[in-house]
Amino acid sequence: MDLKSYLLAQLETEATLTRKAVARVPEGQNDFKPHEKSMPLGYLAGMVAGMLGWITLMIERDELNLDDPANQGFRPKVAATNGELVASLDAALASARRSLEGTNDEHLLTHWAFKMGGQPIQQQPRYIMISNAVFSHLAHHRGQLTVYLRLNEAAVPALYGPSADERF
């Protein structure tokens, strides 16, 4: 299997799991934080819903420097409604799908850089950055989101196996 096909298959799996979690985010709780050091639920949910869109960034650009004011548009958007969260996920998925379908393995082997203050924080081949900085990072924050769901009395979806609220 080529890299592009593998990443497209992984994209579909991650989208399915993410949709299950995002669809359960309770409305009216965007400011909820389980701890003062935690990020608010609305920000976390917005990030989880939009993370698959980072694939487009990694395919179409050579780097992202978070300290560059021109890149502020890549910060997560807090949605007012659950419908907006799902729409954000749908848009991110469609964009990622288009970008992956339009690329090739040769391009996926070229380097992409994540920078802060102009200095590389991570710089690896695009396929590794997509696997680690999107898919693995998404699984981490999606898991974090399920804790927030539980703390807000929302049903936790079965993702990698059954949850206390849902059989697999």
Report, in angstroms and rounded to the nearest whole number, the Rg of the chain calculated over CA atoms. 16
Q: Which CATH number does 3-151 carry?
A: 1.20.120.450
Tell me, rounded to whole angstroms, the distance of Cα 103 from its chain centroid: 20
Q: Is the confidence at residue 70, as pLDDT, over 80?
A: no
Q: Is the confidence at residue 168, as pLDDT, over 80?
A: no
Alpha carbons 152 and 63: distance in angstroms, whole number: 37
Backbone angles phi, psi at 118, to 5 degrees: 80, -5
Report domain extents, the chain.
3-151
Q: 28-60 pLDDT, tens per residue?
A: 999 999 999 999 999 999 999 999 999 999 999
Task: Quote the pLDDT of residue 67.
Answer: 79
Residue corresponding to tokens 């650009």: 61
* Mean pLDDT in residue range 13-19: 98
Alpha carbons 88 and 123: distance in angstroms, whole number: 27
Instruction: Find out whether 64 and 57 touch, Cβ atoms under 8 Å.
Output: yes
Alpha carbons 111 and 26: distance in angstroms, whole number: 39
Nearest to residue 50, comparing CAs of 10, 78, 69, 13? 78
Q: 101-127 pLDDT, tens per residue?
A: 999 999 999 999 999 888 899 999 999
Tell me, rounded to whole angstroms, the distance of Cα 85 from its chain centroid: 12
Q: HSE-up of 70 (CA within 13 Å, CB side)?
A: 3
* Mean pLDDT in residue range 4-8: 97
* Mean pLDDT in residue range 5-31: 97
Classify 162 as helix, strand or coil. coil
- For the beta carbon of residue 106, count every other beta carbon within 10 angstroms: 8
Kindly state the percentage of the chain with pLDDT values over 90: 86
Alpha carbons 129 and 14: distance in angstroms, whole number: 15
Of 88 and 119, the one with more pLDDT: 88
